[in-house]
Amino acid sequence: MNPLYYPDNQGFYGDFGGAFIPEMLYPNIHELQENYLSILESKEFVEQYSKLLTDYVGRPTPLYLAKNLSERYHTNVWLKREDLAHTGSHKINNTVGQVLLAKKLGKNRIIAETGAGQHGVATATVCALMNMECIVFMGETDMKRQAPNVARMKMLGAEVQPATSGSKTLKDATNEAIRYWINHPNDTHYIIGSVVGPHPYPDLVARLQSIISKEITVQLLGLTGRSSPDAVIACVGGGSNAAGAFFHFLKTPDVLLIGAEAAGEGVNTGRTAASLHQGSRGIIHGSMTMLMQDKNGQITEPHSISAGLDYPGIGPLHAQLFVTGKAKYYPITDNEALKAAFLLSRLEGIIPALESAHALAVLDHIHFDPGQHVVINLSGRGDKDLSTFLQNLDNYASVR
């Protein structure tokens, strides 16, 4: 097995990963560890999963040559349109797979955490489709700034539980989901929304998201005659859309893999979510990874304008890609992301999610040549962020 994209049997990518969980969660996590690969690789699962991705999610999502953006940056910019997947982001690739998995494990209730609300909506959607009870934990701060997604979850019949501890964002919602799981171990499956958490979640979610890079290889070949681009760029909260976009290129040495993490107001301002640039090794949500903490090992409160990136940790796969230099990570500020969101809206008629806008902003940091092909994973659409965009409309009125 290639240690780069698959963890070892204890869930470690090099030094990162593992399952640092209290004993109360052991039976659930162990059950998943023992069963996820055989279920994911079973003929029945593969058929059901790919049929749903095609008929229900609307895959493959287009790989679109953004001509105006390409002209602006003097290179070929391709957008992988995850924003066009059902529910408006890549998150549904994971939830379709995990609800199927939960069914096969005999569970009848699904819980999930959500930051931007995209994972919550994607979970609520598939639960509605497959008749599962659904509870989504969401930080109070995020419920306010991503209100449209709260409404969508309710419309879909899910229960939304506010997380009121800490900074009332994604980390706190994840804590609450884990605590709920400890209290309801038998009938409940926890769908983590990113490549974070204890083993096997990082691997499970990466595999389910790897459909993104699989499609890119096929689409790019058809469109350009080559199956790998020069660079792939994706934003990194926990890192699931990036893991999915990188996956099939991890073994291709000449593809530049670039993650954009949220710098917030700036890496050194104390108001940041740049877990790789500001963080150090430690344990968060059951995983050894890079995270933001003080010298006493207390996890610090992150800040990002983007709820989906407002997390003090990062998936262990990315921590490993970072320390080995196999992927490069750029910190992108709130303002750079806003500017990139306005630019894409005005140049291409596509309003990106604030998360995805971080990936777009990398184009201002790296020079690509006119002959090169750069794929940006447009992880989601920006409807949920309209109120934030409108608050900043005056500052970016002249962007085009």
Partner 1 sequence: MHPLDKLFKTKEKEILSIYFTAGYPTRESTARILELLGRHGADLIEVGLPFSDPLADGPVIQHSSQVALSQGITISEIFDQMKSANVHKPLVLMGYLNPVLQYGFEDFLFDAAAAGACALILPDLPAEVFVANYKSLYEKYNIYPVFLISPQTSDERIHMLDSLSRGFLYAVSSSSTTGKAERFGESQKLWFDRLKALKLKNPVLAGFGIHNHNTLRFVFDHLPGAVVGSAFIKNLDPEQNDYGIPGFMKQLLNT
379 a catalytic residue: yes
**Quick check: 299 binds partner 1 (CB under 8 A)?**
yes
Separation of alpha carbons 258 and 399, rounded Å = 25
**Residue 175 touches which member of ligand PLP, partner 1, none, C-beta under 5-8 Å by kind:** partner 1
- Partner whose footprint covers residue 55, from partner 1, ligand PLP, none (CB < 5 to 8 Å by kind): none
**Least Å distance between CB 160 and partner 1?**
19
Integer Cα distance of 143 and 92 in angstroms: 20
Task: Please give the Cα distance from 280 to 207 (Å, whole number).
Answer: 26
Which of 2, 131, 296, 398 contacts partner 1 by CB under 8 A?
Answer: 296
Peptide bond into 202 cis (omega under 30): no
Catalytic residue among 103, 107, 113, 348: 113
Give the count of alpha carbons within 13 A of 296, CB side only. Answer: 2
CA angle 132–138–139, rounded 5-degree value: 170
Q: Which residues bind ligand PLP (CB under 6 A)?
A: 89, 115-116, 118-119, 194, 235-242, 308-309, 353, 355-356, 379-380
Contact between 94 and 331 under an 8 Å Cβ cutoff? The reply is: no
The pair of three-digit structure tokens given for residue 237, joined into one six-digit string: 């909260």
Reference 343, options 355, 330, 361, 331; nearest CA is 361
Does 282 participate in binding partner 1 (rule CB under 8 A)? yes
Rounded to 5°, the CA angle 124-352-370 comes to: 135
Q: Is residue 1 packed enough to be buried (19+ CB in 10 Å), middle (13-18) or exposed (0-12)?
A: exposed
Unique residue bearing structure tokens 């933001």: 292
Residue of the chain from 95, 141, 169, 175 that contacts partner 1 (CB under 8 A): 175
Q: Which residue from 7, 286, 316, 352 is in contact with partner 1, where contact means CB under 8 A?
A: 286
- Binding flag, residue 21, partner 1 (CB under 8 A): yes
Residue 371 beta carbon to partner 1: minimum distance, rounded to whole angstroms: 47
Part in contact with partner 1 (CB under 8 A); list of ranges 57-65, 66-74, 228-236, 289-297: 289-297
- For residue 115, the minimal CB distance to partner 1 (Å) is 16
Q: Compute the C-alpha angle 13/14/17, nearest 5°.
A: 45
Helices 91-104, 26-40: inter-axial angle, 10-degree rounding:
100
239 binds, among ligand PLP, partner 1, none (CB under 5 to 8 A by kind): ligand PLP
| 254 binds partner 1, rule: CB under 8 A | no
Active-site residue 91, yes or no? yes
Question: What's the min distance (Å) between Cβ of 149 and ligand PLP?
Answer: 9
Q: Which of 352, 387, 370 is nearest to 83 (CA)?
A: 352
Q: Which of partner 1, ligand PLP, none lies near 168, with the C-beta cut-off 5 to 8 A by kind? A: none
Alpha-carbon gap, residue 328 to 312, rounded angstroms: 18
237 binds, among partner 1, ligand PLP, none (CB under 5 to 8 A by kind): ligand PLP
Q: Which residue's CB comes closest to ligand PLP?
A: 380
* Chosen from partner 1, ligand PLP, none, partner binding at 356 (C-beta under 5 to 8 Å by type): ligand PLP
Q: Shortest approach of partner 1 to residue 220 CB, angstroms?
A: 41
The residues carrying an active-site annotation are: 91, 113, 379
Interface ranges with partner 1 (CB under 8 A): 10, 18-24, 26-27, 165-166, 171, 175, 178-179, 182-186, 281-286, 293, 295-300
